[in-house]
Amino acid sequence: MDYKAWVVVADSSQARIFGANSRGGSLTELEKLEHPESRMKDQDLKSDRPGRMYSMQGEFRTTAEQTPGRKIEAERFAHKLADHLEKNLHNNRFERLVLVAAPSFLGMLRNSLKDNTRKALSNELDKDLCRVEKPEEIRKRLPEYLW
């Protein structure tokens, strides 16, 4: 076991993973995952216009509302991050998981977790702390006891 817990601080375009060995102890930054596609403009992510179909009234119209490209990329990143966490849990790198994520991303990430990882989830906070540089500053903004 590398760390008792992993604390994941994430938003739709990056995730920083920290290790913690005690409930109230300090954080050690282990790795950073980035997904720059989530920061791109929707027009740069789409390769084609929406499909069209002929309506009964004799007019063309779009086939469906399009999901914004940034949302699709955020969901891809949530799945990628969830898979990464699952693999490391399986390899006994941690036993407890704490998620700290921007509110809009937290739900996506939670829904992407597999059952084993969900069982390891001991705390989650809807805070966007990705832009806070120092691990000790991030730790100050978290509860006294992480789990």
Query: What does the pLDDT look like over 3-47, one tens digit per residue?
Result: 999 999 999 999 999 999 999 999 999 999 999 976 655 455 455
Across residues 99-128, what is the average pLDDT?
97
Quote the CA–CA distance of 20 and 41 in Å, as a whole number: 36
Tens of pLDDT, residue by residue over 80-93, are 999 999 999 999 99
Assess contact for 102 and 11: CB atoms under 8 A: yes
- The SS3 of residue 73 is helix
- Closest residue by Cα to residue 99 from 13, 8, 17: 8
d(CA 129, CA 64): 36
pTM, rounded to two decimals: 0.81
Place of tokens 């009234």: 57
Q: Tokens standing for 34?
A: 């980035």
Helices vs. strands in the chain: H and E counts, helices first = 5, 7
Q: How far apart are CA 135 and CA 142, in angstroms?
A: 11
